[in-house]
Structure 1
């Protein structure tokens, strides 16, 4: 009984349980994808026009992406506090919207409804920050896998909610707003005591890779299952029993990842400390020594700083041999404390290096951070522009299967987030290339899909939808994992929420100015051309003026409506890929050293340690004497190494001089 209790306690505190619960939380936190389902009931109940609904959509996008406050709170408060704040905002914002739409509260002006939707949707940023920060800090050696899977489930949450709501068979669309207000909050509250960072690095096992492969398999199965269900629902008329059965199967698939921690805790045998050391991932070893890049070059600076600042107390200069080991340990502790203080002063003066923990202000002073941000603005902004205009693209081509294409984009977005994380992990671990090379490849792939639409070949909507949905999703798994590697995981919540603002910023310019301007231009030209064919030339100006003033929306037909826009977006994606390659070139040495041991195999670290500890011939006695000198006079290791090298050189010089003198004497005897 005691053994079972210990296993249950270990299971609850296991980092795989934290990750699986974070996946469940993300599966229901992406409520922004449900706005298209609730906007019609808001429009009809409040009497809004399409432009006013567009303002509500902008408020929703801002609330979903502006999460700097959540990132800042992740540094100051525990994860449970973040979840509580998110629950409060979610229930408050969407709860009041539901009361207004159902006329339980008096009607509110448009600006106040925008604020309520912003507050309600902004609660999801606290859910996302809590899940990502907890998982990344619990799996520092598998950041690409963790970020990709979590962001993938966020993208799939819209389709998950659609199936669950279809099973519930709600009486009206207004009830959907109530579900959005309380559904994610209930899931997050149920997991509030489990989602938190677990800093137990000894739990790293070789089975982690098989665990991630199992979850990737579930993700592919989920994508295939959702695709089949959506196609069946669009092609056939299904009764409520079959719809409920589909939803139950979906919930079972979402719960399947919990088998990974169950197998690891209850069905895996105990391992010794030696086995844990052998199974420790190379990246984790690099994480433990975060200053591996440039560490050797900074040692001399630290020693010099200690000598100049006289950080060592006077009583440390001489230590009699009669002192006991207890005093010796105290002296060593003081010495290392002085060295640590000196290193901290140098870091405060020069700033952190790549791979160390940056604050947001320190990261914003780095060129790598801004190059990455603008690469996201262009790449993710292009993908979001296509996603937001998919309805008008289908309408311009005369295709009425908008729901099918939107579902295809949603599933492609999910696969991109999951597959992008896996693809980038393969690049950095197997080849040692920078992670941003994967992002450059994804952005080039998006450019090819956009050029395919420009040419106007068969299946252009499917191609541009799949490639851009996949590429848009891959941006977040690759870029966020790279940000945690380059700028550290301590302030990852703040960095993550700042980088996510790149998507609405890019969409605001590319969709709000470029795509809409080009679409309206061709729509006006086609409207003018139709009037020229209908009316006589004498009535053209008057008729055009009347129609232009009376028509609210100008419709464009044909491939020309978005072909120029897609061409511009393709060039923008190519420029974004070039920016990603710039970062990859700047960080190539960092990634080469960070993942060097991973590429050379698990035995490389032990081989390197043995090679460094091989004693030189005839140097054992000198090493023993150096240890005695360190105890007597507390000589720094670097100074003692220099003395040893100098002694070796003087020994060889004296030996050469003796040999040359012997040869000269032999020559003199021969001459005589």
Structure 2
């Protein structure tokens, strides 16, 4: 059942976003290994590179079965984060920065394997609901931080080093459980009525909202009240029951399905008869731009007159070509909406615009997420777990809501999906402004805006890529585009944020950063103000890129979804 595959993918993604938990355990690493902020941001950049570079996962996806990718990703996570846990707990072992970077890169690269398996299976099993399905799956990846925080509080608190061990062992355990289930189904073209599919998708969507609300309330209670470990354990048990509850859909369909109601789902873009032959031959019909214009203008004619006029135009153009009066304009490569190769996509401005959008939006958003622990400490908050959990929940809601809103926009209005990315860039800019001002409660408001907008990026761009460049090489497109995100964090986090923080900390100690060998601690809003003002400008530039992409893709979406 493709619904069982979806539920298993949700569980896999719920433990596959370990990169977003960096803000929870980074203060422990900084305190134990005496790193300064520039070193911590270098480690964060290595983590982002490991989580975003999916070249290996994309290449191996054509060779290994889905269960092989899941097992390999889980093993890498165990080796990487298990090694970090050993170095943090055994101070006698040497722990140079380069070794920590290698280990966290290996461990976080598990995300690319889990994402590739889950998303490729989802977009192929649910071709009519790509946006909602991608939003749900990426939402659970963003919710990983809140889930792990509650699990840590129920099972391992107050031993902070044990949080890293939890990150090391959980993904491979869950991966082994679900790896026999997750795969693209050859029979995914056979489904029940579209109405039933919409109802089931709506049920999962509402359940996602319940899970997010439950986590938000529970974590606020734990943060504001002094609850016992037993109560935290009860809260965690309630979360596990909510995560298992989506199984009612595949069970219902298995025991109460009506075989007579099953029918074929029509493809999003129906393939015309003989199209494969026409693609192989350089037919003149698709290469005459004048003929294409006349064909579109003549669609309003009755069918017999249209065919007669088209045949006459075709005959006249053949004669003109033979006499040399008309120059044949042959179409180079596929049109947007058809299947591209990665090389063909790299030659398209739309693909490069998508790279720039992710560089600005996700690069700056991930910089904020990675530095959230230090931002909380600089503003006087003792425990950064709360902010990491909150931004995780808003990230989840942004991914789920972004998927459904983008699908509603393209289905109802045939308007380009990248408009959701434009809204996300503006929200991200306002979130960075709140972080820069450090007003009362600004961390809460900034976490809400940045979490929502960051999640909206991940909900909208995979579906947009599959619509513009096809599903055939979707895994390669996805993994290539995500490379732009660590490139952004190299500049924004590794160079900008770390340098500003250490310089301000050294000023407070009346010295220079190089005068202090141990980790520097900065206090006050000044530690990150300049960083986030610059990031706000970056997001405004990203908004401009989004609007350009929207303008360029209006005809494409009108052709795909126009009534």
* TM-score, length-scaled by structure 1: 0.70
Contact 2:23/2:369, CA 8 A, preserved across alignment: no
1:59 aligns with 2:46: yes
Closer, same or farther: CA 291–369 of 1 in aligned 2, 3 Å: farther
Closer, same or farther: CA 247–116 of 1 in aligned 2, 3 Å: same
State the distance in 1 between where 2:404 and 2:59 align: 29
State the distance in 1 between where 2:36 and 2:435 align: 32
**Rg bigger for which structure?**
1
Of 261, 268, 271, the match for 2:250:
261
State the distance in 2 between where 1:401 and 1:106 align: 28
1:440 aligns with 2:440: no
Contact 1:291/1:355, CA 8 A, preserved across alignment: no
State the distance in 2 between where 1:480 and 1:388 align: 23
- Aligned alpha-carbon RMSD (Å): 3.5
Contact 2:135/2:460, CA 8 A, preserved across alignment: yes
**1:515-562 deviation line (CA, Å, top 9, x unaligned):** 44445565566666xxxxxxxxxxxxxxx68x9835856666555554
Moved more, 195-204 or 34-43: 34-43
Residue equivalent to 2:125? 138
Contact 1:373/1:502, CA 8 A, preserved across alignment: yes
Unaligned runs of 5+ residues in structure 1 are 1-13, 306-347, 529-543, 598-672
Question: Could you tell me how far 1:49 is from its partner in structure 2?
Answer: 6.4
**1:203-234 deviation line (CA, Å, top 9, x unaligned):** 15321111121111111111111111111111
Matched ranges for 1:93-172 at <5 A: 93-98=80-85, 107=94, 109-169=96-156, 172=159
Residue equivalent to 1:243? 232
**1:553-578 deviation line (CA, Å, top 9, x unaligned):** 66665555544443332222121111
Greater relative CO, 1 or 2 (CA 8 Å, sep 6+)? 2
Closer, same or farther: CA 405–56 of 1 in aligned 2, 3 Å: closer
Of 548, 553, 559, the match for 1:593:
559
**1:305-337 deviation line (CA, Å, top 9, x unaligned):** 9xxxxxxxxxxxxxxxxxxxxxxxxxxxxxxxx
Closer, same or farther: CA 524–272 of 1 in aligned 2, 3 Å: closer
Of 219, 226, 235, the match for 2:208:
219
Residue equivalent to 1:374? 356
Matched ranges for 1:30-109 at <5 A: 30-39=17-26, 53-98=40-85, 107=94, 109=96
Residue equivalent to 1:363? 345
Question: Could you tell me how far 1:114 is from its partner in structure 2?
Answer: 2.9
State the distance in 1 between where 2:364 and 2:89 align: 37
Residue equivalent to 1:570? 536
Residue equivalent to 1:631? none
Residue equivalent to 2:172? 185
Contact 1:223/1:415, CA 8 A, preserved across alignment: yes
Contact 2:48/2:485, CA 8 A, preserved across alignment: no
Contact 2:85/2:164, CA 8 A, preserved across alignment: yes
Of 241, 257, 260, the match for 1:252:
241
Residue equivalent to 1:202? 190
Residue equivalent to 2:317? none
State the distance in 2 between where 1:40 and 1:472 align: 23
State the distance in 2 between where 1:350 and 1:406 align: 48
Closer, same or farther: CA 49–527 of 1 in aligned 2, 3 Å: closer
Question: Could you tell me how far 1:500 is from its partner in structure 2?
Answer: 1.6
State the distance in 2 between where 1:111 and 1:153 align: 31
Q: Report SS of the residue matched to 2:62.
A: helix
Q: Report SS of the residue matched to 2:546.
A: helix
Question: Could you tell me how far 1:488 is from its partner in structure 2?
Answer: 1.4
Unaligned runs of 5+ residues in structure 2 are 287-329
Residue equivalent to 1:476? 458
Contact 1:75/1:491, CA 8 A, preserved across alignment: no
Question: Could you tell me how far 1:17 is from its partner in structure 2?
Answer: 0.9
Contact 2:362/2:454, CA 8 A, preserved across alignment: yes
State the distance in 2 between where 1:247 and 1:51 align: 36
Question: Could you tell me how far 1:46 is from its partner in structure 2?
Answer: 6.1
**1:587-615 deviation line (CA, Å, top 9, x unaligned):** 11110111124xxxxxxxxxxxxxxxxxx
Contact 1:381/1:506, CA 8 A, preserved across alignment: yes
Q: Report SS of the residue matched to 1:76.
A: coil
Residue equivalent to 1:582? 548
Contact 2:3/2:250, CA 8 A, preserved across alignment: yes
Residue equivalent to 2:468? 486
**1:420-444 deviation line (CA, Å, top 9, x unaligned):** 1111111111111000011111212
Contact 1:140/1:287, CA 8 A, preserved across alignment: no
State the distance in 1 between where 2:77 and 2:400 align: 26
Contact 2:429/2:537, CA 8 A, preserved across alignment: yes
Moved more, 479-488 or 263-272: 263-272
